[in-house]
Structure 1
Amino acid sequence: MNQDTMSGRRALGRRAAGVMLGAAGLLSAGSALAQGQMRDGSDDIVEPEKGFLAESFDYVKHNSYFRVGVLHFQYYGTSSRLTVEDAQGLAAQAFPPGESEIPHTGSSAGNTTTLGGTIGIFLPKTGRHLAMEVTLAPPLKLDFELAKNAEDESLAPVTRNGIPTGVPPIGKSIGTFKALPPNFTIVYRPWVDTLIQPYIGAGAMYLYTYDTDVNNEVLNAYGNEPQLNLTKPVACVGQLGADFKLPQNMFITADVKYVGCATVEAKVNNIVINSPTLSPTVGPIDVGTVSSSNDFKAVLYQLSFGMRF
């Protein structure tokens, strides 16, 4: 190679190196500028918005509570007199035609104790003063009972002509039924930062009953399977209680709910009774249907342990 050629190549190499160094400098400057702009404009960056479901889940997660404890159901209701209708044969001779009320009688429900739980959520923008609660319990198995003279006296001891019918006393317990008493209340707490937090509430309860079973020996003597039917109204609920704060967002609650403002119609159909003295001669005594109208009143007492989130 001659001297001119080598000089040209050296010049070309120097230009190429200069271009590469210049490009690297531009890239470095651009990167630094971009990082500086991101830092300077960090307040203007908009975070992606959460979806409605995510926001709702997040709110429930930080504004809910639960409690679990002992629940006692105490029935205080009253009823109308027992009414007999569709009595046949000898039993019909004990009552006037059509429906007939039996004096000094009635019906009632038994009491029970079980576990009960409550789930609550504080309502938005109320400073945790207002909350919505739902109280649930395992199915309550309750006794359906006769009251007053019907417990130990015959419903039809004699005919209108004074002839003994031989119908025996039925006894107190007619059978059982199960109840699922879900209730919803809106609760107000006047103080939310004190050691003791009293509250008052109001709401509704659905008196849902099912799985009725007439297991009375007198009523089942002929194997005719009488049926117990209960209506399922909605009742009103009044609530009083207090939370007692414990460490770590835990608390103990004493709660009382009054349930009322509802009428439950009760009917026992297809009642056929064996008369120890007359049935061997005249056959079974067909009493028909016995019914009552119950003014439902009950109190739910609950003592429970809870935790807030």
Structure 2
Amino acid sequence: MLQLPQDPNLTSPSGETALANAVAENHLEIARVLVEAGSCLHAGVGDCRSPPLSIAVNVPGGIAMVKFLLEAGASIDTRNAHGSTALALAAAHGCTEVVRLLLLEGARIDVTDNNGWTALTIASFRGHAEVVQVLLDFGSNVHYVNDAGTALTSASYAGHDAIVRLLLQHSAQVNDYTVYSASTKGHVNCVRLMLEAPSWRNAHSAFVRRSTCSMSLTRASRHGSADLVQVLLEERADIEVRIRDFTALMEASLYSRVDVVRVLLKAGADKDATDRDGTTALMLAAMTGHAEIVHMLLEAGAARNLVSKDGTTAMMEATSWGHIEVMDLLKPRKRKRDTLP
């Protein structure tokens, strides 16, 4: 076809080139013929404007194609429309051998995309531990910070404790935001690793550590990780700290976190704490109809007759939502003398 002749750089109506298609299908010999005929190695195709090298890094078994394109003169650090290099794309898809090849061939390791993410932060967020190890071995900056935080922030927020451990071994710094963000997702192993790290123990005052753990406790209670709540309590978190006027017990009661409520009550949480509207944990549990939590709160001594500022009791909440089992629990208990003849 090329001998007719044909222009090897003709594009389809959707903007694709012959070389891009050959690379995407991993047709190495066809790609070789097209490059010899003058196909452009840098032309971006598709909505992402991806050059052939960026396409090749994500093709299963495509490492030979990557080697060929580099030998043919493809620019190793060319970016697509999102600012991603071939290295960043390979890291995002967990292509360990391709990542290692690109680094050996001189790819810039800490180039950022349009969102400020490096290959390390992307791989950490995606959970590709082997890629993270390679990037760290080649000297990627573990302390680089973007709007979402560091690689450690990304890994812990996503719950990748193996990567958190790797990053900590390479002196990643633990800060209050990193601990808090992991706690909001309930990732107990990640939080435990970070709280044990020397960078957390030595770089922050006892006040900062307790304040962070206290805020994290309230947020963790919403997401239902009883083990994480216990870890934070062991770090002397203040059980009555509020977020948007709710204590940890109120959050757990509203979101029906039975195991968390049990841990908090055992730790001495204030059963009758109210928000600015006078709402209690018992009212919140009655509203959602979780009978087991209502029973636990009553057994712990929560006052069933407290009235909120708008005149609502726990019984009224249960009644308005039709939670019959909760209504039975909240009925006033008859005193013995009321039952005597």
Give your verdict on TM over 0.5. Answer: no
Higher relative contact order, chain-length normalized (CA < 8 Å, sep 6+): 1
TM-score (norm 2): 0.20
Q: Which has the higher strand share?
A: 1
Q: Which has the higher helix share?
A: 2
